Chain A
Amino acid sequence: MTIFNILIIIIMIIGAIASAYTKNLLAAVIIFMVYSLMMAIVWQQLNAPDLAITEASVGAGITSILFILALRRMRMIKK
């Protein structure tokens, strides 16, 4: 199980760096969503399922929806 955890953490590090260096803002939001889902899996591996559900619903759901709504309002992506 430690190989699985190391793989998840490597995906998280790559996602964090990539979402900071991406020029396209919509792609950065989607990479941030992937990072948040991997964070939820890490909480589940650390025996905190309550926090995992909260992270998956708030971090990957509400935060991404608000980012995409802000991009639509700034005319960065077409409707």
Chain B
Amino acid sequence: MKTSIVKNVVKVILPLIQIFGAYVIIFGHVSPGGGFAGGSIVGSSLILYRLIYGSERADRKFIYFYLLKLVSISLVVYGTLKGLIFILEHLGFNGFIPIGVPGNLLSGGLIMPLNVLIGIVVSITFYFIATLFEEGELENVNGAE
């Protein structure tokens, strides 16, 4: 499973998988896709990196402490933005966030930033689930140092 053919093929196709996942996330409000589907594509690319290049190299590149901090900050920002939308709607500030031209990339209000946050959370959560399945515990729990 760790021959040089597999390593060189993965080195070529891994950026393409991640670019496709980022496209599905960012264009989620004008074309099929969204935060969950694109996040699972990016998460499967992270799992592929860990399976092929080994757990030590993946632990050095994706440090558990910073990934968990990124997930937590994304969840807090998601809740804040989503609550802000409901509160502004209730108070009557309908046109507070510009909507834009329908069909463009910058349209639909806050849907694209919310999709990006969902994609971050879903991809890192799938990576953690696969790590737990493979090894039974998460490495580097005590932090980066």
Tell me the A residues contacting B by CB distance below 8 Å: 49-50, 52-54, 57-58, 61-62, 65-66, 69-70, 72-73, 79
A50, B34: Cα distance in complex, Å: 8
Asked if B133 contacts A57 (CB within 8 A), the reply is: no
Asked if A66 contacts B130 (CB within 8 A), the reply is: yes
A53-B24, A54-B37, A62-B40 provided; 20 other pairs, C-beta below 8 A? Answer: A50-B33, A50-B34, A50-B37, A52-B32, A53-B37, A54-B40, A57-B41, A57-B44, A58-B36, A58-B37, A61-B40, A61-B41, A62-B44, A65-B44, A66-B130, A69-B133, A69-B134, A72-B134, A73-B134, A73-B136
Contact residues in B for A50 (Cβ distance below 8 Å): 32-34, 37
Main secondary structure, interface of B, reads: helix
CB distance from B67 to the nearest CB of A (A): 17
Contact residues in B for A61 (Cβ distance below 8 Å): 40-41, 44
Nearest residue (CB) in A for B132 is A69
Main secondary structure, interface of A, reads: helix
Q: How many residues of B contact A (CB 8 A)?
A: 19
Contact residues in B for A57 (Cβ distance below 8 Å): 37-38, 40-41, 44
A69, B132: Cα distance in complex, Å: 10
CB distance from B128 to the nearest CB of A (A): 12
**6 closest pairs, A vs B, by CB?**
A49-B32, A69-B133, A54-B37, A50-B32, A57-B40, A53-B37
Contact residues in B for A58 (Cβ distance below 8 Å): 36-37, 40
Contact residues in B for A52 (Cβ distance below 8 Å): 32
A-B contact pairs, 25 of them (CB 8 A): A50-B32, A50-B33, A50-B37, A52-B32, A53-B33, A53-B37, A54-B34, A54-B37, A54-B40, A57-B40, A57-B41, A61-B44, A62-B40, A62-B43, A62-B44, A65-B47, A66-B130, A66-B133, A69-B133, A69-B134, A70-B133, A72-B134, A73-B133, A73-B136, A79-B1
